[in-house]
Amino acid sequence: MSGNKELTEKNIFITGATDGIGRATAISLADQGANLYILCRNEKKGDALIKVLRQISTKAEIRLFVADLGDSRQVGRAVHEFENLDIPLHVLINNAGILNTSRILLPNGVEQMFGVNHLGHFLLTQELMPSLKRANKARIVIVASGAYLMCKEINFDDLAWEKNFKTFKTYAHSKLANMLFMHELARRTEDTNITVNALHPGEISSNLGAQNSALTRMAIKLSSPFFKSPTDGAKTSVYLASSDDVEGVTGKYFMNSKVKEVKPWAKDPSAAERLWDVSSELVS
């Protein structure tokens, strides 16, 4: 069967819904009646989004949690607020992401793209596990990227990227981490009520990278005409969050709502386990 379920009474937590693919995803899910719990770093943008979503879906519960995914304490506080609601979480969509053209370090010493795109979501997912377990069936959807192909290993010896920082390689590194995390999490949640899958949304015209130099912004704008819309980019996320087709499916990578083969280095069990251990240490 294809097509989406009615999402009324489903509780969905999503990151990075204030722009681009995440915003289009939230709008589509609101349109189907889901209760939406949104983690954003910019309260003003978050409030504006909430207004839009409440106009689309007047009966659903729609709430904002303000936290920067690069800050473990803020992530912990947001989850604590969510946990206080004492409700089951049916779907978690780890969507937020950044692309930096220069090397930025987080206070814990890791490079920011790895810190936000992977580590922040690693922590968020761990902390939301009790809520996910409270649901009869729960799904975790990880917005990864085909960019993972550009990086074949995790830079365990230099997570600060002191040597050889390169915009796309280092971004790809964070997306490889998304892929390894998905595989390890799927292994660890086998035989539970939770499934986890990752996806590539396609090449989408969004705000990704727009916080960088004027030159980068111009390059993004020039390439945009060849990219698809955020609404197109949201389709596979919405599919994985809601379709009966993927009930019980776990540990897979999707593109255009279809399973896509994963290169061996992005599902290597020892790399995935090591990343898990290193990530646990970094967020503790």
Ligand X SMILES: NC(=O)c1ccc[n+]([C@@H]2O[C@H](COP(=O)([O-])OP(=O)(O)OC[C@H]3O[C@@H](n4cnc5c(N)ncnc54)[C@H](OP(=O)(O)O)[C@@H]3O)[C@@H](O)[C@H]2O)c1
The catalytic residues are 171
Q: In Å, how far are 144, 145, 207, 208, 261 from 211, measured between CA atoms?
A: 20, 19, 8, 8, 32
Within 10 angstroms of residue 270's Cβ, the number of other Cβ atoms is 7
Residues 65-84 as x/- pattern, contact with ligand X by CB under 6 A: ---xxx--------------
The answer to whether the beta carbons of residues 38 and 46 sit under 8 Å apart is yes
- The residue (of 139 and 175) whose beta carbon lies closer to ligand X is 175
- Residue from 206, 236, 250, 279 in contact with ligand X (CB under 6 A): 206
- Residue 50 sits in the site that holds ligand X (CB under 6 A): no
Nearest CB to ligand X, comparing residues 41 and 267: 41
Residue 106 binding ligand X, by CB under 6 A: no
d(CA 240, CA 77): 27
Give the distance from CA 125 to its chain's centroid: 10
Asked if 271 is part of the footprint of ligand X (rule: CB under 6 A), the reply reads no
Q: How many CB atoms lie within 10 A of CB 78?
A: 25
3-state helix, strand, coil in the chain (%, to 5): 50, 15, 35
Closest CA to 168 of 184, 149, 186: 149
Cβ distance to ligand X smaller for residue 68 or 127: 68
Beta strands in the chain (DSSP E): 11-15, 35-40, 62-66, 91-94, 138-143, 194-200, 252-255, 258-259
Rounded to the nearest whole angstrom, what is the least distance from the CB of residue 15 to ligand X in the complex? Answer: 6
CB of 39 to ligand X, least distance (A): 6
Smallest distance from ligand X to CB 115, Å: 8
96 binds ligand X (CB under 6 A): yes
148 lines the binding site for ligand X (CB under 6 A): no
Judged by CB under 6 A, the stretch of 14-22, 127-135, 188-196, 258-266 that binds ligand X is 14-22
Q: Pick the binder of ligand X from 7, 11, 13, 22 (CB under 6 A).
A: 22
The number of residues making up the chain comes to 284
CA 113 distance to own-chain centroid: 13
Nearer to ligand X, 126 or 193 (CB): 126
Are 4 and 242 a contacting pair, CB within 8 Å? yes
Instruction: Pick between residue 192 and residue 256 the one whose CB is nearest to ligand X.
Output: 256
Q: Which is nearer to ligand X, 79 or 88 (CB)?
A: 79
For ligand X, the binding residue among 41, 139, 173, 252 (CB under 6 A) is 41
CB of 255 to ligand X, least distance (A): 10
| Residue 21 binding ligand X, by CB under 6 A | yes
Task: Report which secondary-structure segment, H or E, holds 257.
Answer: none
> CA separation (Å) from 31 to 22, 55, 80, 191?
14, 10, 27, 32
Check residue 18 for interaction with ligand X (CB under 6 A). Answer: yes
Instruction: List contacts with ligand X (CB under 6 A).
Output: 15-16, 18-22, 40-42, 45, 68-70, 95-98, 116, 143, 145, 200-201, 203-204, 206-208
